[in-house]
Amino acid sequence: MNSSRLLALRALYVIGLAEGTSFLVLLLIAMPLKYLANAPAAVRIVGALHGGLFLLYVAAVLLAALLSRWKWTRILLGLISSVVPLGPFFFDASVKREINAIQI
């Protein structure tokens, strides 16, 4: 059980970093390119990548929650963090602490 839980938490951590980074790239690079440089392709490409990572992140939160038996408040916090800029990075800190606690 702990190996599945650890794998799910590690996957959540990595996906969280990727999803959070893609959100920042979308907001800070692609959107300005679309509106200031008339380059809508940037939003299409980064937006599609971010959308896929967002879905993976939601699935990873739910899987980690199931295997770790999180309370509903933590699950909700994990899901809300995916729609807040920098949110996944803050939530990932708690996931990293949980990973470290399991590994000890």
The string of pLDDT tens digits covering residues 56-79 is 999 999 999 999 999 999 999 999
Show Cβ contacts of residue 19 under 8 Å, excluding neighbours closer than 6 positions.
50, 53, 54, 56, 57, 82, 88
Structure confidence at residue 5 (pLDDT): 94
Structure confidence at residue 1 (pLDDT): 60
Considering the entire predicted model, what is its pTM?
0.92
What 72-76 contacts at long range (C-beta under 8 Å, 24+ apart), as own/partner pairs, is none
Structure confidence at residue 2 (pLDDT): 84
Residues in the chain: 104
Beta strands in the chain (DSSP E): none
Domain count, the chain: 1
pLDDT mean by block of 10 residues, the chain; 104 residues = 90 97 96 94 96 97 96 97 94 95 82
* CA end-to-end span of the chain: 16
